[in-house]
Chain A
């Protein structure tokens, strides 16, 4: 019997299981995890245009083999999408993020975020998003680049992994 301590919980397991558990853990946390994380950030920052797989591994300083393995891994995890593309007479993949990084940018200066009256704010009451002057001011102060900012350098800047 083995006593396994996992965070602050512990449990006993049969000896045969222990090897499975450690083997699984090693699979979950490979050394390459760091590189994977960097790759994910890199792909996410490319926004809707995606990035060529070859650009990815060059940027990461990895080999093409590592690059493609990481890309496959990320695809398996459902984090990116790969599309075949002919580049300079060679087949490669273009990588697209499935999810864009969560960024607070688009609502960071919205008055609703810190509004004291939030609990009382409702379309049917006196304090309402329909007539809120603070909200009107915010809407009028929005610049028209709003929807274009997605995937643009400005949007990506905040997500720089370095």
Chain B
């Protein structure tokens, strides 16, 4: 039988309807850290596989910062990594590639993480009464702790007065609602 070599190269994003665009990608980059991360992502999103050396040369970001950012992105699976050995020196060469399809998952998981923390905070705010000495830099203390301190701030010694947390509770509830909605919960 006749053998035929059929090469079908399927580009990753074809056939898949992505809901993420460049602007979001850049916002994530900005949220993840320095300005340099934005420049770096801007550059590697158009490249296929690329080594850290190349990125540093082309973007003018220092090699150690490039690696730092790449490792951070790698932690969140936003870039993939392939390792080869330099035949002459025996050193490892790292080939990086942006994985835009991981972005949505990353955003969702971050939102879930933040939401969990906000829920904890909201419960705590709702179930406690707070006392405060009105000195900037001092901490608010819940009622139980204030009793132990005989209503005097442990840091500045001023008397502790009741402090309403309605504003925090309201803003917190709104944020929690918004995140729930966005996560479709």
Nearest chain B residue, comparing its CB with the CB of A18: B6
Assess whether B1 is interfacial by the CB under 8 Å rule.
yes
A15 to B171, alpha carbons, bound, how many Å?
A: 64
Residue of B107, B179, B181, B182 with highest tally of chain A CB at under 10 A = B182
Assess whether B168 is interfacial by the CB under 8 Å rule.
yes
**Contact assessment for B107 and A103 in the assembled complex, using a CB-CB cutoff below 8 Å:** yes
Contacts of B7 in A (CB 8 A): 5
Contacts of B182 in A (CB 8 A): 100, 103, 106, 150
Closest CB of chain A to B120's CB: distance in Å? Answer: 5
Which of B19, B21, B118, B177 contacts A99, CB < 8 Å? Answer: B19
**Contact assessment for B6 and A158 in the assembled complex, using a CB-CB cutoff below 8 Å:** no
Closest CB of chain A to B83's CB: distance in Å? Answer: 16
* In the complex with contacts A3-B6, A102-B107, A146-B175 CB distance below 8 A: yes
**Contact assessment for B10 and A6 in the assembled complex, using a CB-CB cutoff below 8 Å:** yes
Contacts of B170 in A (CB 8 A): 144
Q: 11 new A-B pairs (CB below 8 Å) besides A113-B114, A160-B23?
A: A33-B17, A101-B19, A102-B104, A104-B24, A107-B111, A107-B179, A109-B31, A129-B118, A129-B120, A146-B178, A147-B174
B residues lining the A interface (CB < 8 Å): 1-10, 14-15, 17-21, 23-24, 27-28, 30-33, 103-104, 107-108, 110-111, 113-114, 117-118, 120-121, 124, 139, 167-168, 170-172, 174-175, 177-179, 181-182, 184
25 A-B pairs with C-beta separation under 8 A: A4-B8, A7-B9, A33-B15, A99-B184, A101-B19, A102-B19, A102-B103, A104-B27, A106-B175, A106-B179, A107-B110, A107-B114, A109-B31, A113-B114, A114-B31, A121-B117, A129-B117, A129-B118, A130-B121, A131-B139, A140-B171, A142-B174, A147-B174, A147-B178, A160-B23
